[in-house]
Amino acid sequence: MEFFKRLVEWDKHLLLEINTHWQYPVLDFLFQHIRETYFWIPLYLFFIVLAIQNFGRKGWWWILFAICTIALTDQFSSNLIKNNIIRLRPCRDPELMDQLRFYVRYCPRSSSFTSSHATNHFGFATFVATTLRPYLGSWINCLFVFAGMVAFAQVYVAVHYPLDVLAGGLLGFLLGMLMSSIFNKNIGLPKLAGS
């Protein structure tokens, strides 16, 4: 019990450090937007077009699995975990509210643990990376950097604690691996010429 108490205290301390001391005007602006769905629409459209133009019918299956991956990660995080592990968000915690810099228009009322943003983005990044790596090479790892930026932004704007995004990222990674494993085993994308 003492371990968990210290872990929660460390989590709050790290949140305050990130939110109040690691402030830069560029990041203040960027992290308000990078966590929003509209910011990532061009990337999603890129992968949809890539799948349709290069993989034919299997490309449509790939799109379906990508959508299912995001739906699965969201359901696990938003409904299964958040409904059973209730944790006040930092922006709603009376102990912290007056100490935080708050960048977004509203503070969600849902539980803070786990971060659905982190779960969804790491799930998507993992699915895409493990299915498209033969075609896009190591560049596909940039998706994990983007997912990490979204997760960090959630802490930076004070809607999640660091442990919320770490747990969400891990959950998303595991679910993304599961979905890509099912896809690669049962459908798979066509082999590259010469491989």
Q: What is the average per-residue pLDDT within 10-34?
A: 87
Residue-range definition of the domain harbouring residue 50? 30-101+110-186
pLDDT, one tens digit per residue, over 92-121 is: 888 888 888 887 778 888 888 999 999 999
Phi, psi of 115 (to 5 degrees): -75, 115
Q: What is the average per-residue pLDDT within 168-187?
A: 97
pLDDT at 195: 45
Q: Could you tell me if residue 165 is left (phi over 0), alpha (psi between -120 and 50 degrees) or otherwise beta?
A: alpha
pLDDT, one tens digit per residue, over 65-95 is: 999 999 999 999 999 999 999 899 998 888 8
| 122 located within any domain | yes
pLDDT at 177: 98
* pLDDT over 90 at 142, yes or no: yes
Short-list 146, 148, 177, CA closest to 165? 148
* pLDDT over 90 at 165, yes or no: yes
pLDDT at 192: 59
| 166 located within any domain | yes
pLDDT, one tens digit per residue, over 146-156 is: 999 999 999 99
| 41 located within any domain | yes
Q: What's the structural domain count of the chain?
A: 1
| 191 located within any domain | no
* pLDDT over 90 at 171, yes or no: yes
pLDDT, one tens digit per residue, over 39-67 is: 999 999 999 999 999 998 999 999 999 99
| 43 located within any domain | yes
| 174 located within any domain | yes
Question: What is the SS3 assignment for 141?
Answer: helix
Q: What is the average per-residue pLDDT within 109-134?
A: 94
Residue 74 CA to residue 72 CA, distance in Å, equals: 5
Short-list 189, 175, 191, CA closest to 75? 175
Give percent of the chain with pLDDT exceeding 70: 98
| 22 located within any domain | no
Instruction: Dig out the tokens for 53 from the structure.
Output: 């133009």
